[in-house]
Amino acid sequence: MKIVAPVVAMMEKKIASSRMLVSLYSGIYNEVVRNEIKLAGITAGDQVLNIGCGGIPFTALLIAKFTGARVWAIDNDQGAVDVARKCIAAQNMDHLISVLMLDGRDPFPHDFDVALVALQAEPKQEILDSLVAKGGSKARLVFRSPRSEVAHQYDSLPVRPLFNRRIDQKQATFDCSVLYANL
């Protein structure tokens, strides 16, 4: 039974009103997101889509802070969307980040150059297929790959096409981020 993803989602919604906890929690992922910026070559000129932003949208926040890129953060849980919007406003980042209630499988209504998909987002193959259909061959798509010890808790990486590159990550739940590009 998958219990980690719903517990993390609930915990994010509960602690998102504390600026200190948001800062501590996001800090854990500084290196992860810096690695993903390098992997996908994200710059200020990119439009970035983050699928599964959760109540504490640390991926969206760190991408915007580190690169200055415009970020669309989406989640299919209205409660998470409401909390994430407040969190982004409290961090004074709403000029760069917009949060939308959408499912990653649905065709995204705006252009994007890069998409980053949360470890907990699913189903990953359908999300990848939708991103490729909308983003075209120029889109750079980043997914996080669960560690084998906890793989039963998460949807596994898409099987087609093969990813192009990977970068190691030192997290308890995922050991690398992978890039799909030139699809």
Ligand X SMILES: C[S@@+](CC[C@H](N)C(=O)[O-])C[C@H]1O[C@@H](n2cnc3c(N)ncnc32)[C@H](O)[C@@H]1O
C-beta closer to ligand X: residue 8 or 99: 8
Residue 74 CB neighbour total at 10 angstroms: 25
- The answer to whether 183 and 161 have CB atoms below 8 angstroms apart is yes
180 beta partners = 141
Residues that bind ligand X (CB under 6 A): 8-9, 12, 51-54, 56-59, 74-77, 80, 103-105, 118, 120-122, 127
Which tokens belong to 152? Answer: 């039963």
Residues 6+ apart with CB under 8 A from 1: none
What values do phi and psi take at 73, rounded to 5?
A: -110, 125
C-beta closer to ligand X: residue 23 or 182: 23
Shortest Cβ distance from residue 73 to ligand X (Å)?
Answer: 8
Shortest Cβ distance from residue 95 to ligand X (Å)?
Answer: 19
- The answer to whether 164 and 175 have CB atoms below 8 angstroms apart is no
C-beta closer to ligand X: residue 10 or 44: 10
Shortest Cβ distance from residue 181 to ligand X (Å)?
Answer: 20
* Helix %, strand %, coil % of the chain (to 5): 40, 20, 40
Cis check for the bond before 146: say yes or no (omega within 30 of 0). no
C-beta closer to ligand X: residue 93 or 182: 93
Instruction: Report the amino acid identity of residue 125.
Output: Q
C-beta closer to ligand X: residue 46 or 119: 119
